[in-house]
Amino acid sequence: MEQFAHYQPGAYAQEHIRITPTTLSDGRDFFYLDDEPQFVSGEKTRELKDPRPLAYRFAPQLDAEGNEVPYAAPQMRRDPLTGDWIPMATARMNRPITAGPGATAKGNPLAARKPGDPYQDGEVPDTDYNVVVFENRFPSMVRVPGADESVSYINDNPLWEKKLAVGRCEVICFDSNETGLPADLPVSRLRTVVEAWAFRTAEISQMEGIEQIFPFENHGQEIGVSLAHPHGQIYCYPFIAPKMEQELQHTEAYFERTGGNLLKDIMQGELEAQERIVMRNHSWVAYVPAAARWPLEVHVAPVRDVLTLDELNDQERWDLAQMYSTLLKRGNAFFDTGDGKGMDLPYIAAWHQAPIHDKRREHYRLNLQFFSFRRAANKIKYLAGSESGMAAWISDTTPELIASRFHELGEIDIA
Amino acid sequence: MEQFAHYQPGAYAQEHIRITPTTLSDGRDFFYLDDEPQFVSGEKTRELKDPRPLAYRFAPQLDAEGNEVPYAAPQMRRDPLTGDWIPMATARMNRPITAGPGATAKGNPLAARKPGDPYQDGEVPDTDYNVVVFENRFPSMVRVPGADESVSYINDNPLWEKKLAVGRCEVICFDSNETGLPADLPVSRLRTVVEAWAFRTAEISQMEGIEQIFPFENHGQEIGVSLAHPHGQIYCYPFIAPKMEQELQHTEAYFERTGGNLLKDIMQGELEAQERIVMRNHSWVAYVPAAARWPLEVHVAPVRDVLTLDELNDQERWDLAQMYSTLLKRGNAFFDTGDGKGMDLPYIAAWHQAPIHDKRREHYRLNLQFFSFRRAANKIKYLAGSESGMAAWISDTTPELIASRFHELGEIDIA
């Protein structure tokens, strides 16, 4: 593991997970995380060559008139009215359709390569895998070598700052079975996904320009997910995201006022109140927050003080895999479908980690915010005027009702 | 107009719009705003009696066991991690289905009453109308007379404040034609809608407990609008909404740093830059903001320094109606549907006004933020992990591309 200098694998990972780095034909980083014995033992080695003849990812491109133009590095602009940086995926828009084979994906690009298949659009060089992580082919944020990263002004007006969006976007495939649900994966495979989160957090934390690492999972066609393949993403922002900034302001103010850690005291308060706790194991506590805004919302906090995913120890990584698995299963059973079979719940699982460089990081604490837009088996919560226009959420339920439904679905103590 | 002490009608409104207040049978406020000559002249008077035998809106209700319980006033809770107040529509949830006739709406409750029709669920007492405004029957925020409005703690933990959501929710019907689109209304009718916004802003500003008045329009089934009838809403928050708070922090910091008004300087900067200006008339400027976050986004600012809708003068109200009409028409033509017919664009129109009591109000400025979730004739922008989980918007386009599309659709000078 020498090549991953900052990564502290869990004890299980040291013995049972093998990480194999490679590079895709266009230059993107790619990692296999294998947990099956034949890979871990070295009995079977990875086929590393990407068979696609992709051009170098940052090579000059052809514009509409066929002229060669430099790669259009993604930009971002700062909204003066809110202070938010808005990445603009101009590179994706300007991408010429004449860029050569494989310019647009056909089929499922997250599937393993089929042996002998001429299909050239799969992102995985090998014919099977357990968990893989790789850089997104069409990133909305990416560092382009040699590009000018200074701040400049739109229309020469200092109100409007712009600069390159020197972030990073990665994709994590949770399994090679393209029709499986994350909820149905064995805990041991989810344990490897946790290892991927920890590994990537450790590595990316060392990269220049990244301020916040945000592993998340969008699940369900209802929220626009076009690939059913079980996967998540990691957005690495070159700024503190607005929601994280708001949370940091409050955790810091709380520390200054009380000397305490707000996220820890919230967890402690939930444990004392009991009624909104939905799951517990040795290392984690899951609760419906007392001011939940979504029709289904659960926050998951580590028992121990932990800032980021890579700080989790081996037991905590195992316990997290177990809790994530149980959360997804109970989430699928949450809404009454009439036939008792449950549903494939659409959800967003959002990891809130301490930011990388911000000084307020010490008073933050790792937490997972899991929520669903679904508010009944046949109803969706839409983000209309109040939510989208004023960021003012109106809940249609109460945290205690959400928690009591979870209590019907299984034991709180899942250890 | 003596009964509306704080309302300054535009000159046109004094001559051509007649406001007639009444009360619905359950006690809610209701206002007709008529602009047709026979009503304005007094030749025809309003039928004011609501024929429904509704119980007093705040009367005790029956619980699941048939016991009488006090009306469940809507509550809100403060999220300690963000500081946001989250209203929880518990009153709507607890509302017994045994509450009597009219407990659930059948048909279109915004339609005018049909003469001789036994239908009892329409909200409008008369058989025709121009524009009406009334209190929402199932409000997520409302002041209940006699209810205890003090702050208390959930589970006796001071981390979790709760209190009654003593706000107000109103509905504005733009026209009695239930199948018409706001884009197709005559400018004179939209002028009456503007008068309704101004009138309600003036009146509600005087009500105890309200901090921010937010007139908005949700349009389109894509964002969950269940009633096609052309209508908007006014949410009156008993707090400063999170997005407004963020904007006030920035407008105030800008004033402290420069002595200027940020929103005015943004408008001025857009006028100088020119390229993102999409419409102008005598009183208003419409531009795609330099850091737009939606696939279609236009902000509309008054030329004159104005804080709130009720401060608009007669000319500004007329010019706003004209610009709103043009904006909606061009919005419907914005995406290429292939047949040149345009579409019924889903959109959110969100009025940002200076808050009522907050001291920073003087350095704010009225503006309309108009945006759509649609990003192509057949594509929707979903708010997934980055937007919903981290409030970090990623744009799929650029403001200049949005503006240049508007430039194809008509003249900038619409006066």
Each residue of A386-405: pLDDT tens digit? Answer: 999 999 999 989 999 999 99
Residue B107 pLDDT > 80? no
Residue B238 pLDDT > 60? yes
Q: Is A352 a catalytic residue?
A: no
- Domains of chain A, by residue range, sit at 11-237, 242-409
pLDDT confidence tier of residue A379, bands split at 50, 70 and 90? confident
Contact state of B291 with A348 under an 8 Å Cβ cutoff:
no
Residue A95 pLDDT > 70? no
Where helices occur in B280-377 by DSSP H, the ranges are 314-334
pLDDT the model gives residue B281: 97
pLDDT in tens, A276-294: 999 999 999 999 999 999 9
pLDDT in tens, A254-263: 999 999 999 9
pLDDT the model gives residue B119: 61
More confident of the two residues B120 and B101:
B120
Q: Which of A42-56, B191-205, B321-335, B383-397 has the lowest mean pLDDT?
A: A42-56
To the nearest whole Å, the CA of A277 is away from the closest chain B CA by 13
Percent of chain B beyond pLDDT 70? Answer: 94
d(CA B404, CA B292): 14
Contact state of A396 with B93 under an 8 Å Cβ cutoff:
yes
**Residues 6 or more apart in contact with residue A308 via CB below 8 angstroms:** A201, A205, A213, A353, A354, A366
- What is the second-level CATH architecture of the domain A11-237? 2-Layer Sandwich (3.30)
To the nearest whole Å, the CA of A210 is away from the closest chain B CA by 15
pLDDT confidence tier of residue A92, bands split at 50, 70 and 90? low
d(CA B393, CA A145): 25
pLDDT confidence tier of residue A103, bands split at 50, 70 and 90? very low
The total of other beta-carbon atoms located within 10 Å of residue B95's CB is 16
To the nearest whole Å, the CA of A353 is away from the closest chain B CA by 11
To the nearest whole Å, the CA of A106 is away from the closest chain B CA by 19
Residue A176 pLDDT > 90? yes
pLDDT confidence tier of residue A97, bands split at 50, 70 and 90? very low
CB B61 within 8 Å of CB B68: yes
Q: Which of A41-50, A161-170, B29-38 has the lowest mean pLDDT?
A: A41-50
Q: Where are the beta strands (DSSP E) in B308-386?
A: 347-352, 367-372, 374-376, 379-380
Q: For the range B12-18, what are the long-range contacts, defined as Cβ-Cβ under 8 Å and sequence gap of 24 or more? A: B12/B191, B12/B314, B12/B317, B12/B318, B13/B195, B13/B314, B13/B317, B15/B40, B16/B40, B17/B192, B17/B195, B18/B42
pLDDT the model gives residue B99: 31
Interface test with A, best of B84, B88, B163 (most A CBs within 10 A): B88
DSSP letter (8 states) at residue B84 = -
Average pLDDT, stretch A348-376? 97
CB A312 within 8 Å of CB A194: yes
pLDDT in tens, B326-346: 999 999 999 988 888 889 999
Q: Supply angle C-alpha A168, A173, A176, rounded to 5.
A: 155
**Residues 6 or more apart in contact with residue B71 via CB below 8 angstroms:** B57, B58, B59, B60, B61, B91, B144
Among A16, A219, A229, A231, the one annotated catalytic: A231
pLDDT the model gives residue B90: 66
pLDDT the model gives residue B105: 45
Residue B301 pLDDT > 50? yes
Where helices occur in B150-261 by DSSP H, the ranges are 187-204, 242-258
pLDDT confidence tier of residue B160, bands split at 50, 70 and 90? very high
Residue B3 pLDDT > 80? no
Secondary structure element (H or E) that encloses residue B262, with its range: helix B262-273
CB B350 within 8 Å of CB B216: yes
Q: What residue type is A396 in one-letter code?
A: D
- B296-302 and B367-372 beta bridge pairing: antiparallel
In sequence order, the β-bridge partners of residue A23 are A29
Residue A357 pLDDT > 50? yes
- Residue B342, SS3 per DSSP: coil
pLDDT the model gives residue B118: 64
Percent of chain A beyond pLDDT 70? Answer: 94
Secondary structure element (H or E) that encloses residue B37, with its range: helix B37-40
Average pLDDT, stretch B74-100? 74
CB B53 within 8 Å of CB B101: yes
Percent of chain B beyond pLDDT 90? Answer: 79
d(CA B155, CA B64): 25
3-state secondary structure chain A: CCCCCCCCCCHHHHHHCEEEEEECCCCCEEEEEECCHHHHCCCCCCCCCCCCCCCCCCCCEECCCCCEECCCCCEEEECCCCCCEEEECHHHHHCCCCCCCCCCCCCCCCCECCCCCCCCCCCECCCCCCEEEEECCCCCCCCCCCCCCCCEEHHHCCCCEEEECCCEEEEEECCCCCCCCHHHCCHHHHHHHHHHHHHHHHHHCCCCCCCEEEEEEEECHHHCCCCCCCEEEEEEECCCCHHHHHHHHHHHHHHHHHCCCHHHHHHHHHHHHCCCEEEECCCEEEECCCCCCCCEEEEEEECCCCCCHHHCCHHHHHHHHHHHHHHHHHHHHHCCCCCCCCCCCCEEEEEECCCCCCHHHHHCCCEEEEEECEEECCEECCCCHHHHHHCCCCECCCHHHHHHHHHHHCCCECC
Residue B101 pLDDT > 70? no
Residue A139 pLDDT > 80? yes
d(CA B111, CA B345): 22
More confident of the two residues A339 and A121:
A339
Q: Please determine whether the domains at A11-237 and A242-409 fall in the same fold group of CATH.
A: yes
Is A305 in CB contact (< 8 Å) with chain B? no
Q: Which of A167, A159, A163, A336 is nearest to B263 (CA)?
A: A159
To the nearest whole Å, the CA of B107 is away from the closest chain A CA by 19
pLDDT the model gives residue B94: 41
Average pLDDT, stretch A120-148? 92
Chain A residues touching residue B258 (CB < 8 angstroms) = none
Q: Tokens 């002998």 appear where? A: A116
pLDDT confidence tier of residue B223, bands split at 50, 70 and 90? confident
Residue B141 pLDDT > 70? yes
Average pLDDT, stretch B278-297? 98
Is B401 in CB contact (< 8 Å) with chain A? yes
Mean pLDDT for chain A?
92
Is B391 in CB contact (< 8 Å) with chain A? yes
Contact state of A272 with B235 under an 8 Å Cβ cutoff:
no
For the question of an ipTM over 0.90, the answer is yes
Between residues 11 and 70 of chain B, which touch chain A (CB distance below 8 Å)? none
Mean pLDDT for chain B?
92
pLDDT the model gives residue A33: 98
Average pLDDT, stretch A23-30? 96
Q: Which of A60-69, A100-109, B225-234 has the lowest mean pLDDT?
A: A100-109
DSSP letter (8 states) at residue B408 = H
Chain B residues touching residue A292 (CB < 8 angstroms) = 86
Where helices occur in B54-114 by DSSP H, the ranges are 90-94
Contact state of A80 with B275 under an 8 Å Cβ cutoff:
no
Size of interface A-B (CB pairs under 8 A): 252
Is B277 in CB contact (< 8 Å) with chain A? no
pLDDT the model gives residue A104: 44
CB A210 within 8 Å of CB A236: yes
Is A242-409 CATH 3.30.428.10?
yes
d(CA B401, CA B406): 9
pLDDT the model gives residue B92: 55
pLDDT in tens, A186-242: 999 999 999 999 999 999 999 999 999 999 999 998 877 878 899 999 999 999 999
Average pLDDT, stretch B289-303? 98
Q: What residue type is B271 in one-letter code?
A: L
The alpha carbon dihedral of B313, B318, B321, B324 has a sign of negative
Chain A residues touching residue B79 (CB < 8 angstroms) = 289, 291, 293
**CA end-to-end span of chain A:** 31
pLDDT the model gives residue A246: 97
Chain A residues touching residue B233 (CB < 8 angstroms) = 385
Please report how many Cα atoms fall inside a 13 Å half-sphere around the Cα of residue A387, on the Cβ side: 20
pLDDT the model gives residue B194: 98
Distances (CA, A) of B12 to B6, B9, B191, B310: 17, 8, 9, 14
Contact state of A291 with B246 under an 8 Å Cβ cutoff:
no
The encoded tokens of residue B32 equal: 């007709």
pLDDT in tens, B371-405: 999 998 888 888 999 999 999 999 989 999 999 99
Residue A100 pLDDT > 90? no
Fold of the domain built from segment(s) B243-409: HIT family, subunit A (3.30.428)
Residue B175 pLDDT > 70? yes
pLDDT the model gives residue A120: 63
**Phi-psi map region of B245: left, alpha, beta (phi>0 left; psi -120 to 50 alpha):** alpha
pLDDT the model gives residue A206: 96
By Cβ distance, the residue of B85, B269, B293 closest to A86 is B293
d(CA B321, CA B326): 9
